[in-house]
Structure formats: structure tokens, C-alpha cells
């Protein structure tokens, strides 16, 4: 970028000495912050607890193996609940996210000044609160159980789905939309023919991606009483029933792997 003459040669460097110095300074500063934080954490750690870490881990491992396989008969219902929370929660979230996305996208919003900020606020506020916290709130509002988990998952997912969807809407090819407009189509027809086909792949991808995330999120909702397999995990942990705990973790692992596999297949099929 900066070029200077030296003995008749044009010397080329990527950066000026000044910007080079600033870069080195920034790296140095980052390193200093990292070392300081490391020191802080170290000072606040109870190191004597670490003395027998190996023993404790080995102890839990021996207590937890073998998993109590017979317990599986009692896990069918909770894991079904968990999958139902994830699936229905995702569907509910998508139903609410689609209008929000259209209101938030710059090219489809009815008003950039009034409606768009509200839609963006919905997106940010639902996204910024973790689903566990939503579940805590909802358990005290609608009582413990699957319903609280379902609502928690769907609220939490609105922002995520709407954000990705409105970004997809903003990236559509405008000429295709112009072409539909030019036929004399009404605004709703322009949406159905010009915009929807263009965002369909993104929509399907977002839906399975969020479903995949929601399976994982819904496994822990039971910890705060919002139904699903987390509830079983909580009660087993409370009585230190390690063989049950290990079985539950295995079941969760299998459910998550299946979820990932399905979503990978679906996304592969769309693209």
C-alpha cells in the first residue's frame, strides 16, 4: 500500500510503519489482558479441592458403571416429552418468527421508522434471554410441566429464526421481485411468487437447524421443572443415583445424535 522510493527502487510494504506499530501494540495488550485474567482465576481457585480430582472422577465413574439398563423403561415418556417440546416449540417459533422477519427486513417492512425497530426489539429480547431462564419464569407462571418448557423453547427460538430469516429476505434477488410486480400482481402475490420461493431453502435450513438446537436445549429444561428428560436427570442426581444418571446421559446423547443426523440429511436434501 504505502510506496516509497529507496535508491531508485520502489519499496513495497503491506502496511505503513505506524499501522504496523499499532497492530503490535494491540496484540501485546491482548496478551497482557489474557495473562492477568489467568492470574485472577488462579488466585480464586480452591487448589486443595484439586488434590484428589483424579480419585473423585474415578470414584464417580465406577459408581456410574454399568448404567442401570432396566431404568430405560421409565425413560421412554420423558425423552418423548423432550422431543415433543423441541419439535412443537420449533413449529410454534417459526409461525411467530415468519411475520416478525417480514416486518424486520428492510425491503419488506411496512415502515422502517416504526415497525422495523419493534420487530428488531422482539428479535433481540427473545434471543438475549436463555431458554432456562424463560423456563424458570414460565414454571412460576403456568406451573411446572411440559407446557412451560414448550413455551420457553418457542419464545427463545423466535429471535433466532426471525433474525436468520430476515437476513435471507434482505438478500433476495430484487429483479425477480420487480418482474412479478411488473405483471400487475398485488403485494401479497408479489410475496408469494417473488419472495417466498427465494427464501424457501433458507427457511427449511433454519427450521431444521433450530430444531436440532432445541433438542439439546430441551434436555436441560427439566432441571427447573419444565418437563422432559431433564426432570428425570434432576431427580436421579438429587439422590446420587449414578447408574441412572449415566443411562440418562446416554439416552440424551443418542437423541442428540439422531437429531443432528436428521437435520444434516434435510439440509443436504435442500441444497
Q: Which residues of the chain form contacts with other proteins (CB under 8 A)? A: 173, 175-176, 178-186, 188-189, 192-194, 197-198, 200-201
Q: Give whichever of 148 and 207 is closer to other proteins, judged by the CB atom.
A: 207
Closest CB 100 distance from other proteins, rounded Å: 21
Closest CB 97 distance from other proteins, rounded Å: 20
Is the link from the previous residue into 266 a cis peptide, with omega within 30 of 0? no
Q: Give whichever of 30 and 197 is closer to other proteins, judged by the CB atom.
A: 197
User: Exposed (0-12), middle (13-18) or buried (19+): which is 104, by Cβ within 10 Å?
Assistant: buried
Which among 43, 87, 95, 52 is positioned nearest to 208, based on CA atoms? 87
Q: Give whichever of 88 and 179 is closer to other proteins, judged by the CB atom.
A: 179
Q: Give whichever of 203 and 242 is closer to other proteins, judged by the CB atom.
A: 203
Q: Give whichever of 176 and 234 is closer to other proteins, judged by the CB atom.
A: 176
* Alpha-carbon radius of gyration of the chain: 26
Q: Give whichever of 180 and 256 is closer to other proteins, judged by the CB atom.
A: 180
Closest CB 158 distance from other proteins, rounded Å: 25
Q: Are 131 and 152 in contact (CB under 8 A)?
A: yes
Closest CB 46 distance from other proteins, rounded Å: 59
DSSP characters over 38-67: HHHHHHTS-GGGGTTHHHHHHHHHHHH-S-
Residue 28: its H or E element: helix 17-43
Closest CB 181 distance from other proteins, rounded Å: 6
**In the chain, helix, strand, coil percent, each to 5?**
80, 5, 20
Sign of the alpha-carbon dihedral angle for 250, 254, 255, 256: positive
Q: Give whichever of 127 and 181 is closer to other proteins, judged by the CB atom.
A: 181
Q: Give whichever of 118 and 202 is closer to other proteins, judged by the CB atom.
A: 202
Closest CB 192 distance from other proteins, rounded Å: 6
Q: What span, in angstroms and rounded, lies between the C-alpha atoms of 65 and 72?
A: 15
Closest CB 95 distance from other proteins, rounded Å: 17
Which among 98, 240, 102, 83 is positioned nearest to 157, based on CA atoms? 98
Closest CB 271 distance from other proteins, rounded Å: 12
DSSP 8-state assignment for residue 106: T
Instruction: Mark out the alpha helices in 129-222 (DSSP H runs).
Output: 131-142, 146-170, 174-182, 187-190, 196-221
Amino acid at each position: 500500500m504505502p510506496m516509497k522510493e529507496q535508491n531508485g527502487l520502489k519499496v513495497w510494504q503491506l502496511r505503513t510503519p505506524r499501522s504496523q506499530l499499532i497492530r503490535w501494540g494491540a496484540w501485546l495488550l491482548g496478551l497482557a489482558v489474557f495473562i492477568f485474567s489467568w492470574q485472577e482465576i488462579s488466585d480464586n481457585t480452591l487448589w486443595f479441592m484439586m488434590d484428589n480430582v483424579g480419585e473423585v472422577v474415578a470414584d464417580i465413574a465406577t459408581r456410574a458403571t454399568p448404567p442401570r439398563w432396566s431404568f430405560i423403561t421409565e425413560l421412554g415418556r420423558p425423552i418423548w416429552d423432550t422431543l415433543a417440546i423441541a419439535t412443537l416449540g420449533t413449529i410454534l417459533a417459526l409461525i411467530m418468527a415468519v411475520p416478525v422477519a417480514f416486518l424486520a427486513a428492510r425491503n419488506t417492512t411496512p415502515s422502517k421508522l416504526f415497525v422495523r425497530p419493534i420487530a428488531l426489539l422482539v428479535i433481540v429480547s427473545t434471543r438475549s434471554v436463555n431458554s432456562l431462564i424463560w423456563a424458570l419464569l414460565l414454571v412460576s407462571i403456568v406451573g411446572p410441566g411440559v407446557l412451560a418448557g414448550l413455551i420457553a423453547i418457542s419464545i427463545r427460538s423466535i429471535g433466532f429464526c426471525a433474525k436468520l430469516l430476515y437476513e435471507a429476505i434482505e438478500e433476495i434477488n430484487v429483479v425477480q421481485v420487480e418482474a412479478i410486480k411488473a405483471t400487475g400482481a398485488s403485494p401479497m402475490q408479489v410475496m408469494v411468487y417473488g419472495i417466498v420461493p427465494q427464501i424457501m431453502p433458507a427457511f427449511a435450513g433454519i427450521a431444521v437447524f433450530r430444531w436440532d438446537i432445541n433438542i439439546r436445549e430441551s434436555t436441560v429444561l427439566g432441571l427447573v421443572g419444565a418437563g422432559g428428560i431433564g426432570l428425570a436427570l434432576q431427580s436421579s442426581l438429587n439422590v446420587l443415583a449414578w447408574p441412572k444418571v449415566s443411562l440418562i446421559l446416554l439416552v440424551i446423547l443418542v437423541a442428540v445424535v439422531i437429531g443432528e443426523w436428521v437435520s444434516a440429511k434435510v439440509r443436504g436434501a435442500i441444497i
